[in-house]
Amino acid sequence: MTITVCVFDAYGTLFDVAAAAREAAAEPGREALAKVWPTLASNWRRKQLEYSWIRALSDNHTDFWAVTKDGLDWSLESAGLAGDTELRERLLALYWNLSAFPEVPEMLETLQKGGISTAILSNGSPHMLDGAVHSAGLGDLLDGVLSVESVGIFKPAPQVYDLVIQRFGVAKEHVLFVSSNGWDAAAAAAYGFKTAWVNRNGDPVDRLPGQPDHVLTELSGIPGLAGLK
């Protein structure tokens, strides 16, 4: 089947979620953070996702910014940095301006030049996504930015993936869905999308009903998977 739409998860896929902690740790006076930033960044992301899943399962939705702050607070306390309110505010400010992975702009440009529609489908709230897209300079390279806030539940609820079909009016098999989250790629595959898992860490494939069609280590190969030479 011909791919006509390529849809990307945002955080961890297009945008480097470790960038906020890494950049803050490099600033003067951040010696305490510099010692623990990789663990803090990992815990922050893990708790952010865990809280989104639990909220979806318990029908207790809030926006992703609240989940992001809650995950950071847990991670700061775990690292013994809970009392540093200035650090907390700095990390949250940096999260609004996460760096895109270096291959992202060229990859998106190649897709668009090849006539393939591009979009984000994310747990992120609209304001968060607008900030990240603008900061990374990707606005002209995306045909849509879709947020779970329009359905009020986080991934991997099927109604989130429905947003792609509603926005682009295509059959599922014409969509290539790309995520750095194995569980997200698995859920999208089970939904009926063609899927690519960006496995930057070399993790095992998740034991879930859906399985990704492709496994990559970064994003530059996506145009080829979409059928472009």
- Tens-of-pLDDT digits for all 229 residues of the chain? 699 999 999 999 999 999 999 999 999 999 999 999 999 999 999 999 999 999 999 999 999 999 999 999 999 999 999 999 999 999 999 999 999 999 999 999 999 999 999 999 999 999 999 999 999 999 999 999 999 999 999 999 999 999 999 999 999 999 999 999 999 999 999 999 999 999 999 999 999 999 999 999 999 999 999 999 7
Residues with a known catalytic role: 9
Report in angstroms the alpha-carbon separations of 198 from 44, 50, 65, 138.
20, 20, 24, 19
Give the CA angle between residues 72, 148, 93 to the nearest 5°: 35
Hey, what are 178's tokens?
């790309």
Residues 208 and 165 both lie in one domain? yes
Distance CA 212, CA 206 (A): 10
Helix/strand/coil for 52: helix
Are 118 and 88 contained in the same domain? no
pLDDT at 1: 67
Cα–Cα distance measured from residue 18 to residue 11, given in angstroms and rounded to the nearest whole number: 10
Please state, in angstroms and rounded to a whole number, the distance separating the CA atoms of residues 27 and 79.
18
Entry pTM: 0.96
Query: Which DSSP category does 35 fall into?
Result: H
Same domain, 119 and 218: yes
Which of the 8 DSSP states describes residue 118? Answer: E
Residue with tokens 């879709």: 146
Q: What does the pLDDT read at residue 229?
A: 74
Last residue of a domain, one of 95, 125, 146: 95
Regarding whether 171 and 198 lie in a shared domain, the answer is: yes
Tokens of 75: 């991670």
| Domain termination site, one of 69, 95, 121 | 95
Does residue 95 sit in helix, strand or coil?
helix
Q: What pLDDT does residue 67 have?
A: 98
